[in-house]
Amino acid sequence: MAIIEVTDLRKSYGQLSVLEGVSFSVAEGEIFGILGPNGAGKTTTVECVEGLRKPDGGTIRVLGLDPATDGRALREQVGVQLQHTQLPDTIKVWEALDLYAAFYSRPRDWRELLEQWGLADKRNARFGKLSGGQKQRLFIALALIGNPRVAFLDELTTGLDPQARRTTWELIKQVRDSGVTVVLVSHFMDEVEELCDRVAVVDRGRVVALDTPAGLVDGLDAAHEIRFTLMAACDPVALLADLPGVAEVTVTADRVVVSGRGDFATAVTAQLARHHVLVSDLRIDKRTLDDAFVALTGRSL
Ligand SMILES: Nc1ncnc2c1ncn2[C@@H]1O[C@H](COP(=O)(O)OP(=O)(O)OP(=O)(O)O)[C@@H](O)[C@H]1O
């Protein structure tokens, strides 16, 4: 079931047209990513869906409600990650959670969230004294305090070290597994690849692709490649060209390049083993979400 439906969303700031017909839907229980270069219109899109900005055209339904007119009813069911400037430096961690819990009729127990997000020993610390990572985790805890059905998270792991990012990813998967739908705005390809069930790539105010991360990579014209050196004479074209997923086999002296799509690497390596073909320097060059992004937008993040 779609929990968010956005159809032909349009928005201009004065003469600047920022959204030119954005459409997508988010299914209940998924982690949905919004990926795009700077200025593509991601924040504008998400803030229209959250009811924080007013669109010029198109329709938005969140849990069947229009955020522009049913904001009050939606606020109970939607969690939004705050931006860094929105808490005073002097507020204590527990006070922030207690304050935000008071806005909701069925809030989560904030002590539980403190434990879950590794902030229990920072309960009495002032916001201004927290590290970047601790602030980030507090913002996520605040987005979840109202027991939302949908959570919007923007730049989830900015400022976190590699281990803290991995921990955050695991926690976000748990949030999804507990039934909360997550909309994630991100600049990080690895994060999107690891977390998102589906991704909308936004560029110049339009959705230029919408698929699973693997589907976006498979849609590339350029295929994955396997390269290896033959250690004894054999005919790799006869052996490999007809395997499922293989597009082309090129041989230059003893060096072989096999290009293909999907999981063709398993078929190729199994076939080599079955025919006792010994190879060396085997390398697999997989296309990545980064490649797909560059192909779709002409830019790298
Ligand atoms: N309130 C505003 N008034 C005028 N222009 C704005 C306003 N908010 C955003 N813009 C402009 O609209 C365009 C899209 O901005 P938006 O913040 O939606 O993009 P974004 O994809 O989220 O970018 P980033 O990744 O840099 O956050 C940009 O050119 C931005 O300068």
| CA-closest residue to ligand 1 atom 2 | 13
pLDDT, position 85: 64
**Is 300 part of a structural domain of the chain?**
no
Instruction: Give the residue numbers spanning the domain of 283.
Output: 219-295
For a pocket test of ligand 1, which of 10, 12, 13 has the largest count of ligand atoms closer than 8 A to its C-beta?
13
Cα(18) to centroid of ligand 1, in Å?
Answer: 7
Give me the number of domains the chain comprises: 2
Q: Is 19 left (phi over 0), alpha (psi -120 to 50) or beta?
A: beta
pLDDT, position 287: 84
Q: In what order do the strands lie in the sheet with 206-211?
A: 78-80, 150-154, 181-186, 31-35, 198-203, 206-211
Cα(232) to centroid of ligand 1, in Å?
Answer: 59
160 and 39 belong to one structural domain: yes
141 and 61 belong to one structural domain: yes
For a pocket test of ligand 1, which of 11, 16, 299 has the largest count of ligand atoms closer than 8 A to its C-beta?
16
Which residue ranges in the chain fall short of pLDDT 70? 83-85, 221-222
**Is 122 part of a structural domain of the chain?**
yes
193 and 79 belong to one structural domain: yes
Indicate if ligand 1 lies below 6 Å from the C-beta of 44. yes
Residue 283: CB atoms within 10 A of its CB come to 9
106 and 230 belong to one structural domain: no
Residue 206: CB atoms within 10 A of its CB come to 15
**Is 134 part of a structural domain of the chain?**
yes
Cα(209) to centroid of ligand 1, in Å?
Answer: 20
Final residue in a domain of this structure, among 192, 217, 242: 217
pLDDT, position 160: 81
Pick the closest to residue 204 from 20, 5, 2, 29 (CA basis): 20
pLDDT, position 274: 95
46 and 140 belong to one structural domain: yes
Q: What is the CATH number of the domain that holds 35?
A: 3.40.50.300
55 and 128 belong to one structural domain: yes
183 and 122 belong to one structural domain: yes
Final residue in a domain of this structure, among 217, 244, 265: 217
pLDDT, position 217: 87
185 and 249 belong to one structural domain: no
Each residue of 159-215: pLDDT tens digit?
788 888 898 899 899 899 989 999 999 888 899 999 999 999 999 999 999 999 999
192 and 281 belong to one structural domain: no
Return the structure tokens found at 8.
Answer: 């032909």
248 and 125 belong to one structural domain: no
pLDDT, position 156: 80
pLDDT, position 54: 94
- Dist CA 102 CA 201 (whole Å): 36
178 and 279 belong to one structural domain: no
| CA-closest residue to ligand 1 atom 26 | 38
Each residue of 135-149: pLDDT tens digit?
888 999 999 999 999
**Is 301 part of a structural domain of the chain?**
no
Indicate if ligand 1 lies below 6 Å from the C-beta of 133. no
63 and 175 belong to one structural domain: yes
For a pocket test of ligand 1, which of 11, 15, 17, 18 has the largest count of ligand atoms closer than 8 A to its C-beta?
18
Final residue in a domain of this structure, among 178, 202, 217: 217
pLDDT, position 84: 63
pLDDT, position 58: 97
pLDDT, position 164: 85
DSSP letter for each residue of 124-165: TSBGGGS-HHHHHHHHHHHHHTT--SEEEEESTTTT--HHHH
Indicate if ligand 1 lies below 6 Å from the C-beta of 67. no
| CA-closest residue to ligand 1 atom 31 | 39
